[in-house]
Amino acid sequence: MPLAAGAEKIGVAVKALLLAALLAALYFRILTFLVFEVIASSDFSFVFLAVPLWIAFLYYRRKTFAHAAVKPEAAGVSLVVLACLVFIIGRASAEIFSTRVSLILLLAGLVWTFAGRRWLRRLSLPLLLLACFIPPPAILYNSLSNPVKDLLAKIASVSTQLLGLSFYADGGSVNVPGFSVGTGDMCGSLHVIPALFISALMILLLIAPRRTGPGLALFTAFFTVLIGLAAIVLRMVLIAFFAAHNPDVTASFYHATTGWAVFLAGLIASIAIAALAAWQSRKAHI
């Protein structure tokens, strides 16, 4: 029996390695270009904070995964087939986004097929966070984000006027004395928002797993997103402040406070809420 169990484990490990090698062969070039694109983009600088969170979530939740029964389901093959179709369509049409998204779908399909729905549910947040690392098509992103950008610029304009600062947003650009930048570039940190939503749920599960009901989870996620949006507005206000009082610092501050700063602000907010929920849970059990 021990020999049979050992042979079975070796067989599973060999199959897993072969599958990983196949995925590497299919997606190596795609992932290489994605990594270089994300590293070069200031809007995706939040990835350097999100990746450690992703790793920590998998590590500290490993016991939860270990206790989940492995029940292969043939229904997962449908998601694998969908992923393959998305990959083929993306390659045939030279559409980069589709080929990248197909990897997330394929990973989800493989988990569902070989481990079951319960495993897929437990790994859904890490998979969704990975999807947030993929830059969306410009047309889709701009159509969804332009109204939000305009709203944030208007809020920043009203805030700076109340503070007696010079700030002008004309819909296409944001202007302060001696410094001007496009509204899209100023609010490029909106790429962070989906990752903030998912990260808030992950942090809540890490810090206060016993208190993670639907109500608290949604409140934490939406509050974290609001903090992220507020951080974008605060960034614009501070740029106007520096332009008025220390012009030499304005450009440096703009380039230094990119997506990572917005992500960090939201992360701190979600940690505070999760810590408070955990404290209340401990207090209730005393």
Sketch the domain layout of the chain as residue ranges. Answer: 1-40+72-114, 48-68+136-284
Residues 136 and 220: their CA atoms lie apart, in Å, by 25
pLDDT tens sequence for the chain (286 residues): 455 545 555 656 676 788 788 888 888 988 899 999 988 888 899 999 999 999 999 999 888 877 778 888 999 999 999 999 999 999 888 789 999 999 999 999 999 998 888 899 999 999 999 999 999 998 888 898 889 988 998 999 999 989 988 888 876 788 888 888 888 878 888 899 999 999 999 999 999 887 777 888 999 999 999 999 999 999 999 999 998 888 888 888 888 888 899 999 999 999 999 998 888 877 666 5
Task: Identify the helix (H) or strand (E) that includes residue 62.
Answer: helix 62-67
Exposed, middle or buried: residue 250 (CB in 10 Å: 0-12, 13-18, 19+)?
buried
Interacting residues of 114 by C-beta distance below 8 A, sequence separation 6+:
70, 72, 76
Separation of CA 168 from chain center: 31
Distance, in Å, from the CA atom of 43 to the CA atom of 182, rounded to the nearest integer, reads 14
As separate numbers, helices (DSSP H) first and strands (DSSP E) second, the chain gives 13, 3
Alpha carbon dihedral 51, 214, 221, 154, in 10-degree steps, equals 150
